[in-house]
Structure 1
Amino acid sequence: MQSIFGVAMRDIMLLLGIAFIVTVGVVAATAIRNPVLFKIGTRHIWRRPGRTALIVVGLMLGTAIITASLATGDSITHTIRSQVGTSLGGVDEIVSSTEESDFEATGESIQLDYFPEAYFAEVRQAAAGSDLVDGVAPIIVESIAAQNPASRQNEPRVTLLGRTDDAAGFSPLRAVSGEDVRIADLGAGEVFLNQNGAEELKAAAGDRLLLYGPAGTEAVTVRAIVRNRGVGGAEGTSVVMPLAAAQAFTGRPGQINHIVISNRGGDFSGARHSDEVEALLRPTIDRLGVGLETTKQDDLQTADEVGNSFTQFFVIFGVFSISAGILLIFLIFVMLAAERRSEMGISRAIGAERGHLVRMFVFEGMAYDIAAAAIGALLGLGVAYLMLLLLVQAFSSMEIDLRYNVSAQSLIVAYTIGVLMTFLVVTFSAWRVSILNVISAIRNLPDRKGEGKDRGLLLGLGSLALGGLLMLSGLSGEQAAPFHLGVSLLIVGVVPILRRAGLPDRASFSAGGAGLVVWWLLPESVTSAFLPELAMDFSIFVLSGLMVVTGATWVIMYNSDLLLGGIMSTLGRVSWLAPSLKTSIAYPLKNKFRMGVTLAMFTLVVFTLVTGTTTVTAFTNAFDNVETYGGGYDVRATTLRTNPVEDMRQAVKQSPDLDSGDFESVAGLSMALIEARQAGSGNDFAVYALRGLDDEFLTETRYGFAAIADGYGSAREVWEAVKNDPGLAVVDSLAAPHRDSFGLQPTAPEFQLEGFFTEDGRFSPIPVEVRDPRTGRSTTVTVIAVLKDVAPPFMVGLSASQSLLESAFPDQAQPITYLFRVGGDVDPKDAAGDLEAAFFANGMEAQALGEELGDLVETNRVFNYILQGFMGLGLVVGVAALGVVSARAVVERRHEIGVMRAIGFERGTVQLSFLFESSFVAVLGIVCGTALALVVAHNVIADSSKQPSWEAIEFSVPWLNLGIIFLVVYGAAILTAVLPAVQASRVYPAQALRYE
């Protein structure tokens, strides 16, 4: 992976590496200069190895999440790069009849024109004087169908490769037995078959195959099976024959459709010369009127972009877990400081400065930090491997061979981020805990109330000022995140002002907390009544989680006595349960800060998990509607461009293998690869697809729209208008502007409309210029509607009537995609199989749209499971926090435990008290986080249901998945409390009562 969030990974690694070296160097130099402070600070590490292990586990999670994200991106990038290397071999650039040969958004390719073979000599001559190019060769690449009569296996999509031995320098043809083979070895009627083809056709050397091409059928003999690589053909089934034989088979004597070029260097290193090679050959390419694609360079860039997208996806969803990890680090050092408070007070009394205390904690924290980041990086590698196994299942229908790979720079970046992030939190925590009253600390008494209120007042006023500025910024820029953050800061800023005015803490924090919760849980239907339309992105989700959890935690902690009273009035009625229950709840509620931070960690991660899972499940279920996906059709089929069916309706009627009565409607779709731009926008032309829809499709389709232009009242009116006026078109939602962008949608194409938002539902008709990149011929269409977000991939592009393509782009107007609606008693899967058999010679591939949709939905659901597991890692933070709190509680409450035992508490009652304590925090966090998340998810889904694209969406909670996760987490939380509970029950009363 070469970059992340738009920044080069190499630059990130260098910057973080320098920061890491400087930080570690400064800490080491300080330790050398202060050996006594270093020994005092690090002595606790070895005294309590169990506590040390627990702290390291708590500190490592942030590094693990970052490592897993980067490693997953690396693996995806490596997989795609490997496929590029396998499929292209030494080919770096390809010359063909046009600059663009396929539509990247859907992978559809166009029919390439042939050109004279003599062009090859001119291109080779142009490259002859440069040491950047080490190979140029002519080839024919064409799609055909093949059949093995012996095994009765058919393959409708086979890549025919016609080449000469001039191409051997790119990637030698190598038989599966290991020896190199040459085109010159082939006799008349002989071909090489690649490994994929041998598996699909169940063929071996010596077998006879029937090839179905544009000029007819030809019988050939397999001379040898060659490996899947390079010009030998790696993608799918490939047949290799001499160039002259391929020209005769395709009916193109003296012509080719590609010239392949190899740059100096290896399979991957050669791509770095592509820009120079393109500049070298451009005059010749332009003179010949053909196009040159820097194929390998572009594909490798795509590999990095895809890997980067996966990394960003998981990093974004890991923000909450990382935030919880930061809280845990802070909590750990606050508790360590509480444990050593008397020691710190004495140190200050005998002359130690605050800086000395800070250094002692930094030394100890850095030791934990170095170890935790290393362990976290290793754990992240394991998590990434498990995620890759799940991704294999998600991509099972695409036959992608995912390969686990982690680059050294990703490991360095993850480790240094983990170390530096933890170091900053540790340093802040150390500074914070070093602020103490010496006398109170020596006597181990709480600090006097009222201290710091003046400082709090200043912070409150600053928060009000900053909040106001952010609100104004959000309103002026029509951005939701800064506006809502500003409102939140106003609410938070009021709290210290109320306290300074003399209001009790309960009233102050309860009012602030309730304000945050209410503001962030207000449904859109309420806020839209007094707020303008504001654009939202993923940051609003992050802010909502942080703010609503903060508010809920304040409300709970400052009304804890009410909570305790409610619990005791119900469960306290059980006599044997009451003693353990009351003590288990009273202690955590007494320590508001410690309890609040622990509760916030649990609640934050649960909130993220439930919100993400519930909303993704709802959108996936709404998408899972074959009627909406298929637009009223049941089967989609495509044929070869080189051997299309001229009239599909008539062919179905005449086919002896089909019952025409099974098919109620047959619609044809063509596709031209064009360049488009919005008229008058000043934008450059961008490659896009223009689809031609025949009259039957325009009459029968049931596809709906997310936005409709003024002057049209319904989807049916739009389709009728497109049918009757060749100058009208509709467009998919990817090319339409959206007010809200959460960064999780597919990559938007370069071609984009402007001047409206899809969410508004209405817009003025938009003229769009479209032109043929090969001929320069252009025309203008007017966009009058935007398809729903749930439209299928094969509808991506501008869609107009078939008559437009026949008049403006006649060479690309032949339909090769067909939609079939079958009768009610006909199984679409059976119909798809019958169609493939009937039109095998045309290379037809057919699939039931329900099955196609099922594959997409299954992929989404697997991603949802991966997301649940990834976000669920954050619950480890909560479990670790409970472990740290429980371990600390045994030491801190040793005297209290002795009193309890002395007045009659049995060992079992003490154990139960500690177990109840962990249960209380875990259950409260799960319940609170789930309740808040469900309200937010419901608001999101209710708002989405008002959009035409998602009007069928329904609120549903995946209780089973969440229940299993929560039970596992709850069990882990109890397990972490078992050992401290046992230790507490073994405290002898006499020893404990003497304990100071």
Structure 2
Amino acid sequence: DPGQRLLFWIPLPEVRIAGIVEGNGVLHYQIENQGPNAFTMLMDVESAREVLKIGVDDYYNALLVSNRGDFLKGEKLTDEVVKSIREIAGEEFVVREVKRDSISMVDQGNIGLLFLMLSVFAIFAGALLLTNIYLMLAQERRTELGTLRAIGYSRRKVSKTILYEGFFYSIFSSAIGVLGGLAIARFILGSFVNLFEDVASLIPFEGANMAFSSMQSSFVFFVRLDSIAYGFLLGLIIPMVIIVYTGRKISRTNIVTAVRNIPEELDDRKRLLLNILAAVGVLFSIIMAYSGYSLGNAAGFFTGVVLAGLLIPVAVPMKNKRLIESLFSIAVIVFTMLSNSFSLIASNTGSSIYLTVAKGAAILFAGLFLIVYNLKTFEFLLNKLFQKAKAAAPVFKISVAFSARNRMRTGLTIAMFAVVIFVITLISIIPYSMEQMLVKSRDAVFSGFDVGAFSFTGNGSVSFSELQSQSEVREISTVAAVNVAVRKDDRYGLEQIYSVDDSFIDNNRLVEIDYDGKLGTSSPNDLWKYLRDNPDTVVVSNSVLPDVRPGDVLELRGVIDQGDSRHGVSGLMRRNVTSEMIDSKPVYLKVIATIPENTISFLNGLLVYRGNVPTELSGNVAERQYLFNLAGATEGEKKGNFDALQDKIASGSLFMLYVDDIINLTSTMLQGTISILRSFLYFGMLVGIVGIAIIMFKALHERKRIIGMLKAIGFTKKMVFSSFLLETSFIAIIGIVLGIVTGTLTSLEIYASPLMEGMKLYIPWDQLIAMTLIFYIASLVSTIIPSYSASKIVPAEALRYFE
């Protein structure tokens, strides 16, 4: 008939393969209408015309255009090149921006954004370290700078003295930091390549290694000059901002107190100014919270409430306000944990990345303020606890007293530990919970069957009876998928009905389901039998219809255009349903049970018994799959039978997946990715370890005379050495525990959100304990040198020492 297409085949000559081209450059390019399993042959034009029997000269179905410049600079010329092609070829040609699309696809993965977010915490920890260092530097230079002020130096000159010294340190450290960053980036890239190799070895079908090797070859270490420049400038600007603040602060120190090295406290004027600034901040926070609530901005509302809670204690004009500071810090943590009780916050949790970050930051900083405000309380409690240990009591009292009395320095050091540990805890708990849920969902992946077999073509060359006759197969079920239109409010969406047979009803192990208690069924097994015995009933997966509940009635319509049935698994792709595709006669099915949304399963759709599928919905089968159990008493025997079955059934049209292979593959990808992210953060943890080492060296310098006095009144070398180690332990343990506790609380809050409803939280205690021990031991090791040096101080020399 006119309008129909006539397809015919002609025999083509054999060709000899001269070589295999790597995936570089052509990795993401596919010829128009090329199938997913097709390949690309590269030949010269004349040879291709001869082989393909193309008798038309100067005929091409595609032209590849290479822009000037490298792969990044050339992409920027795409608009100009497309414009030139349009002027020459006209509008009837389709121009595909292959390189731009490929780069855009990579950028959409947000890998760079993920590492940037993780870097923010490391940068923040580094800023805390720099603040600590330059405050200690200013304190060390205090007497000299006070003397310079006394002999005529202006405040500006004193500030510049600190500025120039800090600039000298920063410019060299920034350069070294850039080199270190490049080394870390190279290490992370190599880790990703190794992860791909591990994943490729676990994929159970031919060609996986070749496909992944092409992807691996595309991972090339590349550094742009502007990235180096940005890193260097950022590493220079952050220290300089801190140095300017420190220099300004030290230049305003009273000359007499500076020369005599008397600790300077806040006077009434400065304390009043601080109270006023905090009060202004509280007012601003209240306005932010009100505006956020009025405008429906959950992040603004939450941030305003939290800031107000943290600033109110600072605004209160009281000297001893430890109790009110502690109460408001606890209130902020409680508010954050219960924030999902507000409908505005609950509806935005999960969809707003800013709200999620704000919640984590609120718990972290409220916990940090709670600890810093109560350092003296810790000192009192610990002294009471160890006062009966007569030999150790003096050592313990000295070590804790120095930390508790210097709140600023101790608080900044604790914060360095807590910030990085907080992030490491988060990226340990959440993926671990996902992995545990995957392992516990083994029976849900293929509904309790061991293997899922899918046809790429829709008409598999391996029949049901052929599979059933294999000795490696124990029970087998056939599931057919049919596209249907499901009414959702005032529109229709394309979903799939899975028609299941008797073998599925009798052998599936989907027990984590919510069903209607009025049906008279006492167990999930009875429910599946009820589905078979009662027409017009359906079991729905909440992953595709999240708002459906048992007892609801669904309106379905048949889809006239089922698509090409030969496309096999491509039938899983969701399409927009147009009015031309929908059958006019509706069908109503009662929902008797729902499969929870968090269930990991290949059967995400509507499950109906095969004999009860309404005739209005029984169109062309979009996809057919086999589910079967393997013979064998142990997992090893089943895996052996699966491998034997794969060797026996060498069919390119049947793709078989063993459930344990899927779990192992997913677990490997999760663990590998998290290990890379965790190792990236371990470099940030070095900031905390270096920070505590610097503090101990500074303590050695500051307390030289005090150590001499202690040794003169009877302290031994061992007691002095132990006091330094105990001080390190006090700071490190509080920082590590604070990071773990706040990270765990944030994880609990995330899993309590409506987005994570039904998902369980699992805490990897072994990983957290191991991390705690490693970082604690590393902190102790970093302070051995100053501790040993302190123990070797001679009392007579120390007592004659003046700073």
So what's the TM-score if we normalise by structure 2?
Answer: 0.76
Match of 2:248 among 428, 431, 443: 431
Query: Who is 1:932 aligned against?
Result: 742
Does the 8 Å CA contact 1:623/1:790 hold for their aligned counterparts?
Answer: no
Matched, 1:362 2:163: yes
Query: Who is 1:575 aligned against?
Result: 390
Structure 1 residues 760 and 729: alpha-carbon distance in aligned structure 2, compared to 1, 3 A threshold: closer
Match of 2:101 among 285, 293, 298: 298
Query: Who is 1:327 aligned against?
Result: 128
Q: Separation in 2 of the partners of 1:725 and 1:779?
A: 23
Does the 8 Å CA contact 2:332/2:363 hold for their aligned counterparts?
Answer: yes
Q: Separation in 1 of the partners of 2:665 and 2:190?
A: 17
Matched, 1:85 2:25: yes
Structure 1 residues 545 and 640: alpha-carbon distance in aligned structure 2, compared to 1, 3 A threshold: closer
Does the 8 Å CA contact 2:455/2:625 hold for their aligned counterparts?
Answer: yes
Partner secondary structure for residue 31 of structure 2: strand
Match of 2:354 among 511, 530, 539: 539
- What does the per-residue CA deviation read over 1:346-381, in whole Å, with 9 as the maximum and x for residues that have no partner? 333333333333322222222222222222222223
- What does the per-residue CA deviation read over 1:449-487, in whole Å, with 9 as the maximum and x for residues that have no partner? 434122112222212112112222332344443222212
Aligned pairs, number: 722
Q: Separation in 2 of the partners of 1:766 and 1:468?
A: 48
Structure 1 residues 546 and 896: alpha-carbon distance in aligned structure 2, compared to 1, 3 A threshold: farther
Matched, 1:664 2:664: no
- What does the per-residue CA deviation read over 1:72-125, in whole Å, with 9 as the maximum and x for residues that have no partner? xxxxxxxxx98451446xxx67333xxxx78xxxxxx5xxxxxxxxxxxxxxxx
Query: Who is 1:987 aligned against?
Result: 793
Partner secondary structure for residue 178 of structure 2: helix
- In structure 1, the gaps of 5 or more residues are 1-80, 103-108, 110-142, 144-158, 169-181, 185-241, 248-252, 286-290, 737-756
Q: For structure 1, which segment, 964-973 or 856-865, has the greater mean C-alpha deviation from structure 2 after superposition?
A: 964-973
- What does the per-residue CA deviation read over 1:537-569, in whole Å, with 9 as the maximum and x for residues that have no partner? 343454344433433343333433332232233
Q: Separation in 2 of the partners of 1:968 and 1:852?
A: 33
Q: Give, in angstroms, the shift of residue 594 of structure 1.
A: 1.0
Does the 8 Å CA contact 1:640/1:843 hold for their aligned counterparts?
Answer: yes
Percent pairwise identity? 21
Q: What letter is aligned with 2:222?
A: V
Matched, 1:397 2:204: no
Query: Who is 1:918 aligned against?
Result: 728
Query: Who is 2:260 aligned against?
Result: 443
Matched, 1:476 2:294: yes
Does the 8 Å CA contact 1:545/1:608 hold for their aligned counterparts?
Answer: no
Query: Who is 1:124 aligned against?
Result: none
Does the 8 Å CA contact 2:159/2:247 hold for their aligned counterparts?
Answer: yes
Partner secondary structure for residue 847 of structure 1: strand
Structure 1 residues 277 and 631: alpha-carbon distance in aligned structure 2, compared to 1, 3 A threshold: farther
Q: Separation in 1 of the partners of 2:122 and 2:427?
A: 13
Match of 2:276 among 445, 453, 458: 458
Q: Give, in angstroms, the shift of residue 600 of structure 1.
A: 1.8
Does the 8 Å CA contact 1:898/1:990 hold for their aligned counterparts?
Answer: yes
Query: Who is 2:176 aligned against?
Result: 375
Structure 1 residues 265 and 538: alpha-carbon distance in aligned structure 2, compared to 1, 3 A threshold: closer
Does the 8 Å CA contact 2:339/2:346 hold for their aligned counterparts?
Answer: no
Partner secondary structure for residue 728 of structure 2: helix
Partner secondary structure for residue 644 of structure 1: coil
Q: What letter is aligned with 2:142?
A: R
- What does the per-residue CA deviation read over 1:12-56, in whole Å, with 9 as the maximum and x for residues that have no partner? xxxxxxxxxxxxxxxxxxxxxxxxxxxxxxxxxxxxxxxxxxxxx
Does the 8 Å CA contact 1:698/1:720 hold for their aligned counterparts?
Answer: no
Structure 1 residues 807 and 937: alpha-carbon distance in aligned structure 2, compared to 1, 3 A threshold: closer
Q: Give, in angstroms, the shift of residue 981 of structure 1.
A: 2.0
Matched, 1:618 2:433: yes
Query: Who is 1:137 aligned against?
Result: none
Matched, 1:819 2:622: no
Q: Separation in 2 of the partners of 1:394 and 1:939?
A: 31
Does the 8 Å CA contact 2:697/2:786 hold for their aligned counterparts?
Answer: yes
Q: Give, in angstroms, the shift of residue 894 of structure 1.
A: 1.9
Does the 8 Å CA contact 1:599/1:921 hold for their aligned counterparts?
Answer: yes
Query: Who is 1:599 aligned against?
Result: 414
Partner secondary structure for residue 262 of structure 1: coil
Structure 1 residues 946 and 260: alpha-carbon distance in aligned structure 2, compared to 1, 3 A threshold: closer
Q: Separation in 2 of the partners of 1:778 and 1:703?
A: 36
Q: Give, in angstroms, the shift of residue 697 of structure 1.
A: 10
Match of 2:774 among 968, 986, 989: 968
Query: Who is 1:863 aligned against?
Result: 673
Match of 1:891 among 679, 698, 701: 701
Does the 8 Å CA contact 1:679/1:768 hold for their aligned counterparts?
Answer: no
Q: Separation in 1 of the partners of 2:550 and 2:673?
A: 30
Q: What letter is aligned with 2:710?
A: M
Q: Separation in 2 of the partners of 1:552 and 1:805?
A: 62
Partner secondary structure for residue 840 of structure 1: coil
Q: Give, in angstroms, the shift of residue 760 of structure 1.
A: 11
Does the 8 Å CA contact 1:480/1:540 hold for their aligned counterparts?
Answer: yes
Does the 8 Å CA contact 1:835/1:844 hold for their aligned counterparts?
Answer: no
Q: Separation in 1 of the partners of 2:576 and 2:754?
A: 42
Q: Separation in 1 of the partners of 2:176 and 2:475?
A: 61
Does the 8 Å CA contact 1:699/1:720 hold for their aligned counterparts?
Answer: no
Q: Separation in 2 of the partners of 1:704 and 1:292?
A: 52
Q: Give, in angstroms, the shift of residue 165 of structure 1.
A: 4.2
Partner secondary structure for residue 476 of structure 1: helix
Higher strand residue share: 1
**Aligned 1:372-771 pairs, distance under 5 A:** 372-395=173-196, 396-398=198-200, 399=209, 400-401=212-213, 402=216, 403-408=219-224, 409-448=226-265, 449-498=267-316, 500=317, 502=318, 504-520=320-336, 522-523=337-338, 527=341, 533-536=347-350, 537-624=352-439, 625-641=441-457, 644-645=459-460, 648-653=463-468, 658-659=470-471, 662-669=474-481, 693-696=498-501, 700=505, 733=543
Query: Who is 2:137 aligned against?
Result: 336
Q: Give, in angstroms, the shift of residue 788 of structure 1.
A: 5.5
Q: Give, in angstroms, the shift of residue 524 of structure 1.
A: 5.8
Q: Separation in 1 of the partners of 2:95 and 2:614?
A: 28
Does the 8 Å CA contact 1:354/1:435 hold for their aligned counterparts?
Answer: yes
So what's the TM-score if we normalise by structure 1?
Answer: 0.62
Q: Give, in angstroms, the shift of residue 264 of structure 1.
A: 4.4
Partner secondary structure for residue 573 of structure 1: coil
Q: What letter is aligned with 1:969?
A: F
Q: What letter is aligned with 2:173?
A: A
Structure 1 residues 840 and 898: alpha-carbon distance in aligned structure 2, compared to 1, 3 A threshold: same
RMSD: 4.9
Q: Separation in 2 of the partners of 1:465 and 1:414?
A: 37
Q: What letter is aligned with 1:166?
A: V
Partner secondary structure for residue 504 of structure 1: coil
Does the 8 Å CA contact 2:471/2:631 hold for their aligned counterparts?
Answer: no
Structure 1 residues 355 and 816: alpha-carbon distance in aligned structure 2, compared to 1, 3 A threshold: farther
Query: Who is 1:94 aligned against?
Result: 31
Structure 1 residues 461 and 637: alpha-carbon distance in aligned structure 2, compared to 1, 3 A threshold: same
- What does the per-residue CA deviation read over 1:198-235, in whole Å, with 9 as the maximum and x for residues that have no partner? xxxxxxxxxxxxxxxxxxxxxxxxxxxxxxxxxxxxxx
Query: Who is 1:959 aligned against?
Result: 765
Q: Give, in angstroms, the shift of residue 607 of structure 1.
A: 2.4
Does the 8 Å CA contact 2:456/2:655 hold for their aligned counterparts?
Answer: no
Does the 8 Å CA contact 1:915/1:977 hold for their aligned counterparts?
Answer: yes
Q: What letter is aligned with 1:966?
A: T
Q: Give, in angstroms, the shift of residue 416 of structure 1.
A: 2.7
Q: Give, in angstroms, the shift of residue 905 of structure 1.
A: 1.9
- What does the per-residue CA deviation read over 1:823-858, in whole Å, with 9 as the maximum and x for residues that have no partner? 685965355445534542443231212211221122
Query: Who is 1:135 aligned against?
Result: none
Structure 1 residues 304 and 583: alpha-carbon distance in aligned structure 2, compared to 1, 3 A threshold: same
Structure 1 residues 699 and 432: alpha-carbon distance in aligned structure 2, compared to 1, 3 A threshold: farther
- What does the per-residue CA deviation read over 1:126-185, in whole Å, with 9 as the maximum and x for residues that have no partner? xxxxxxxxxxxxxxxxx5xxxxxxxxxxxxxxx4667864287xxxxxxxxxxxxx897x
Q: Separation in 1 of the partners of 2:608 and 2:582?
A: 11
Q: What letter is aligned with 1:310?
A: I
Structure 1 residues 764 and 808: alpha-carbon distance in aligned structure 2, compared to 1, 3 A threshold: closer
